[in-house]
Amino acid sequence: MRSTTVLPGTPSPPPSAGDVPLHRLEVAGPGAAPFAAGSFEEVGPLSRWDRPHRHTFYEIVHVSAGSGTHVVDLARWPVRPPQLAVVLPGQVHHWEGGQGPEGTLVLFTDDFLVDHPGDRELLRELGARCWFGLDAEQDRSLRPLIGELVAEHRQRAPGHESVLRSLLHVLVVRAARLPGRTASGREPRTQGRPAAVAEAFTRLITRPRATGWTVQECADRLGVTAGYLTQAVRAATGRPPGRLLIEARVYQAQQLLAHTELSVRQVAARTGFADPAYFSRFFRRETGSSPGAFRKHHSRHHQSLEAPRRPA
């Protein structure tokens, strides 16, 4: 995977056909901590980008004003401040409509969590829930803490990196206490530390080339039996790996339909279906909508992320 950070002003390479732009975290210079915090204006215009994109870094957003909609992995969240959003590396998101958000962003890579590795699991749970409305007491608890992160980042006084890591740990723990629902509307599941094999499986099925693999094929790649994989994944998530594979396949198809101009036949091939008609039946069964109807509802022409056509 390409580097998760870049120096200021480094242009992002154009996305390949069928892919979405990947934003990397800008850092002050070589050796600088992979962390940034500030207002939308300080972070830059891409912080409010209205085109679907993904990051190599975590993004925690405290929304204090504005209107419109925040779209994360096709789930739409109305902007009604005060609110908190958590976007994970690799999630596709953008802002659309309204007056645009105002507030503060906290950006950091996975490497920045070295002092508190347990925060990775909390962040994964927060990313599944994604969007939190804050009452007055919750806002009073989080706003000063985020303000301290911004001030510490600006001042860069001696020892500021360890202070930033400690403050970020407190922010993640407090955010994890917030009540909320997942994008599907279900209450988040309380989980302990998942088994290493379940974590590896979760990472594996996010890879585009894993589309269409069976549980047995995943188990073979992880060096375990299919039965052991099923037990580990059920213990960690409460769900069978076959169901998670199907959902990963549907998610990739939704992303391609919503954010590219690939034909339905091409989307079927990208997601491991040799027969477009069978893909259409599968997609309708899982989503309640045909691929064409889903694209019509979710896609905007100017948001196509296909490589630009060259003039003839």
Tell me, yes or no, whether 182 lies in a domain: no
Domain with residue 116: its CATH number is 2.60.120.280
Tell me, yes or no, whether 238 lies in a domain: yes
Q: Which residues, 6 or more positions from 55, have their beta carbon under 8 angstroms from its beta carbon?
A: 22, 23, 24, 25, 87, 89, 90, 91, 107
Domain with residue 261: its CATH number is 1.10.10.60
Q: From its phi and psi, is residue 283 left (phi > 0), alpha (psi between -120 and 50) or beta?
A: alpha
Q: Of 143, 176, 209, which marks where a domain is finished?
A: 176
Give the pLDDT confidence of 247-294 residue by residue, as tens digits. 889 988 988 898 888 999 999 998 989 999 999 999 999 999 999 999
* Higher pLDDT pick, 1 / 263: 263
Q: What is the mean pLDDT of residues 23-37?
A: 87
Report the predicted TM-score, pTM, of the whole model to 2 decimal places: 0.65
Residues 206, 296 share a domain: yes
Exposed / middle / buried, residue 109 (Cβ in 10 Å: 0-12, 13-18, 19+): buried
Residues 165, 93 share a domain: yes
pLDDT at 235: 81
Residue 45 has pLDDT above 80, yes or no: yes
Least confident of 70-79, 131-140, 193-202: 193-202
Q: How many helices (H) and strands (E) does the chain have?
A: 11, 12
Residue 118 has pLDDT above 60, yes or no: yes
Which residue range is the domain that position 51 belongs to?
5-176
Residues 30, 172 share a domain: yes
Tell me, yes or no, whether 282 lies in a domain: yes
Residue 54 and residue 92 in contact, taking contact as beta carbons nearer than 8 Å: yes
pLDDT at 312: 36
Which range has the top average pLDDT, 65-69, 75-79, 180-184? 65-69
Mean pLDDT score of the chain: 84
Q: What is the mean pLDDT of residues 147-175?
A: 95
DSSP string, 244-297: HHHHHHHHHHHHHHHH----HHHHHHHTT-S-HHHHHHHHHHHHSS-HHHHHHH
Residue 260 and residue 306 in contact, taking contact as beta carbons nearer than 8 Å: yes
Q: What is the mean pLDDT of residues 109-120?
A: 89
pLDDT category of residue 203 using cuts at 50, 70 and 90: confident
Residues 214, 168 share a domain: no
Residues 209, 140 share a domain: no
Residues 167, 24 share a domain: yes
